[in-house]
Each structure stands twice: as C-alpha cells, then as structure tokens.
Amino acid sequence: MAGIPQEVLREFSTRRREIEAHLEEHAQHGARAAQVATYATRTAKDPTVDAEGLLPGWWTPGAGARLRRSRVG
C-alpha cells in the first residue's frame, strides 16, 4: 500500500491484531498456526451493512493516524 503511512495501516489492521492475539493466547507460532488462527477468529460479514455507511467510521480513526481524504484516491 504505497504512500500510506505505517501507523495508518496498523490502525486499520484489526484482523492481524485478532490473529496475533489468538496465537499469543494459545502460545502458538509459525505459518500453520497463523492459518488456523485466521480461520478460528474469522466472523461472517454482515450482508445488511451498507458500504457507504462504513466510510464515516473509517475516517475517524484514520484522522488520528494522519489519514487525510485528499491523500486517498
């Protein structure tokens, strides 16, 4: 994701944090354990969520991590 600051990527990488927490909780490591954790922590997406309704929530955390609409295509 060229041009996007690392702190912004970390702010929005909630899945990665969930997977890492699962690995830590179960004292596991390695590629296979990460794959298992990925499936174990995945939840179904809500088909009733409107994508346009998600945008305001994305800008709020991003503002604290130097994400500006003018910088995002």
Residue 19 and residue 34 in contact, taking contact as beta carbons nearer than 8 Å: yes
* pTM, 2 dp: 0.56
Residue 41 and residue 49 in contact, taking contact as beta carbons nearer than 8 Å: no
- Rounded Cα distance, 29 and 3, in Å: 30
pLDDT digits 0-9 by tens, 32-45 = 999 999 999 998 88
Q: What is the pLDDT of residue 68?
A: 57
pLDDT of residue 52 exceeding 60: yes
- Report residue 64 CA to chain centroid gap: 16
pLDDT of residue 73 exceeding 70: no
Residue 33 and residue 23 in contact, taking contact as beta carbons nearer than 8 Å: yes
